[in-house]
């Protein structure tokens, strides 16, 4: 199964527009109410020589809306079992590696280790739905996390409204669900088997989560799978569509790039550092009040340079193996992708402070959230 991209999310009319002139690029940089047309202009090849004024504008907007702060979170991989065959993922079911899920007592150990680091926002991750790591398993982990952390979010398989409602009652605040690529034909080629083949079900996942009562949705495309301009514009349209419907919800945008992983997958449309920076700056200009996220997929030097310059939220001290913090990943377990920024919390926060940025581990209190279900 796959699906078509709805007309309201289709970026092809903007991609068919004439290349922007220098005057059009300058106007996009100065726009008071930028939208998708400005984003189209600012991610164009013609705008690449304008990256320095774009960075300056992005930094000013980031400081205006987020102050000189960087929100921090950490991921916790609960299981690397997976039922899908994504060509680009180290957890794909045809990858030969030790498979494991954390037992409840191991989940507690991992969470306690993250808590001891000062982490207050945790992102719980699994592969696609399997008998070993199904909804009930994820629900139990959310309940454990809600007892320890002020903000609990999940990045897992798409669920139905009733399941998302149960996660909300258990103390989950938000969901992260990347479409990976919005280009339907490429999506079909890359998702070789399993439930993730259903393009439409994944595309509608954030809407189901928000309809069920979750407060936040994190969106993203895995840059490098398709033409990055196509995915960037479709991502913007997806966010705009959701914001119109769920105007009380919070949203964030992430910018993962294809990383080296088991299986030797190479990005069909590589995105270099300059292009990624250009995309981030363009999104900040077009979406000045939306948190923009950068993970430890990226190298330390790149992360350092992007902190506060468009990016307002970052992961820290990440491990992408199951049991990567204290519960001990099995030998030969490569993780979902290679972590390039391996600094611990102390080293990373010291870097932020040296750049006059304040690390923020907690920006709101769990007292404002409904109590988790018993």
CB neighbours of 62 closer than 8 A, spacing ≥ 6?
A: 284, 308, 309, 310, 311, 312
Residue 371 in any domain: the answer is no
Residue 1 covered by a domain: no
- Rounded distance, CA 78 to CA 100, Å? 8
Give the β-pairing of 358-360 and 313-315.
Answer: unpaired
Indicate whether 116 belongs to any domain. yes
pLDDT of the residue at 372: 39
The reported pLDDT for the residue numbered 216 is 97
Assess if residue 101 is contained within a domain.
yes
Closest Cα partner for 124 from 103, 145, 98? Answer: 145
Residue 79 has pLDDT above 80, yes or no: yes
Q: Does residue 374 belong to any structural domain of this protein?
A: no
Residue 248: CB atoms within 10 A of its CB come to: 7
The helix/strand/coil state of 29 is helix
CA gap 183, 234 in Å, rounded: 9
In this prediction, residues 160-186 reach a mean pLDDT of: 98
302 in a structural domain: yes
More confident residue, 2 or 58: 58
Q: What is the mean pLDDT of residues 314-341?
A: 79
Check residues 241 and 91 and name the one with the higher pLDDT: 241
Answer whether residue 368 is part of any domain: no
Kindly report the CATH number assigned to the domain that includes residue 26: 3.20.20.70
Tell me the torsion sign for CA atoms 79, 83, 85, 86.
negative
Length of the chain: 374
The average pLDDT across 214-231 equals 97
Q: Average pLDDT of 115-136?
A: 96
| Average pLDDT of the residues in 330-342 | 70
CA nearest to 55, candidates 29, 27, 32: 29
Residue 260 has pLDDT above 90, yes or no: no
- Is the confidence at residue 318, as pLDDT, over 90? yes
- CA-to-CA distance for 109 and 329, rounded, in angstroms? 13
354 exposed, middle or buried (CB, 10 Å; 0-12, 13-18, 19+)? exposed
Q: What pLDDT is attached to residue 373? A: 40
Phi, psi of 349 (to 5 degrees): -70, -30
Instruction: State which residues form the domain around 51.
Output: 7-363
**pLDDT surpasses 50 at 155:** yes
Q: How many domains does the chain have?
A: 1
370 in a domain, yes or no? no
Residue range 20-78, pLDDT digits in tens? 999 999 999 999 999 999 999 999 999 999 999 999 999 999 999 999 999 999 999 99
**What per-residue string of b and e applies to 70-105 under the rule 16 or more CB within 10 Å gives b?**
bbbbbbbbbbbbbbbbbebbbbbbebebebbbbeee
Q: How far apart are CA 79 and CA 133, in angstroms?
A: 7
Task: Identify any residues that bridge with 254 across adjacent strands, giving them in sequence order.
Answer: 220, 293
């Amino acid at each position: 199964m796959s699906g078509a991209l709805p007309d309201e999310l289709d970026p092809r009319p903007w991609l068919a527009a004439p290349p922007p002139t220098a005057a059009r690029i300058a106007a996009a940089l100065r726009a008071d109410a930028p939208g998708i047309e400005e984003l189209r202009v600012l991610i164009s090849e013609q705008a690449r020589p304008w990256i320095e004024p774009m960075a300056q504008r992005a930094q000013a907007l980031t400081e205006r809306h987020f102050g000189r702060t960087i929100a921090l979170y950490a991921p916790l991989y609960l299981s690397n079992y997976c039922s899908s065959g994504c060509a680009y993922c180290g957890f794909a079911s045809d990858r030969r590696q030790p498979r494991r899920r954390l037992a409840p007592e191991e989940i507690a150990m991992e969470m306690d280790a993250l808590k001891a680091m000062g982490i207050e926002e945790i992102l719980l991750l699994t592969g696609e739905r399997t008998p070993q790591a199904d909804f009930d398993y994820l629900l139990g982990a959310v309940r454990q996390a809600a007892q320890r952390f002020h903000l609990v979010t999940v990045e897992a398989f798409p669920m139905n409204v009733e399941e998302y409602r149960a996660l909300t009652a258990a103390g989950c605040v938000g969901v992260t669900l990347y479409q990976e690529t919005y280009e339907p034909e490429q999506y079909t080629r890359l998702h070789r088997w399993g439930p993730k083949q259903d393009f439409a079900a994944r595309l509608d996942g954030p809407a189901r989560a928000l309809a069920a009562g979750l407060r936040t949705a994190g969106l993203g495309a895995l840059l490098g799978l398709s033409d990055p301009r196509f995915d960037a514009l479709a991502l913007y349209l997806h966010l705009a569509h959701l914001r119109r419907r769920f105007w009380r919800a919070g949203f964030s945008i992430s910018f993962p790039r294809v990383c080296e992983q088991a299986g030797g997958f190479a990005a069909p449309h590589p995105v270099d550092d300059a292009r990624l920076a250009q995309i981030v700056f363009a999104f900040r200009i077009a979406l000045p009040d939306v948190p923009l996220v950068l993970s430890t997929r990226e190298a330390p030097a790149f992360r350092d340079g992007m902190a506060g310059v468009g990016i307002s939220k970052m992961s820290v001290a990440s491990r992408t193996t199951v049991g990567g913090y204290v519960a001990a990943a099995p030998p030969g377990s490569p993780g979902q992708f290679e972590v390039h920024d391996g600094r611990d919390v102390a080293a990373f926060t010291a870097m932020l402070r040296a750049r006059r940025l304040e690390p923020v581990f907690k920006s709101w209190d769990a007292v404002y959230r409904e109590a988790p279900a018993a």
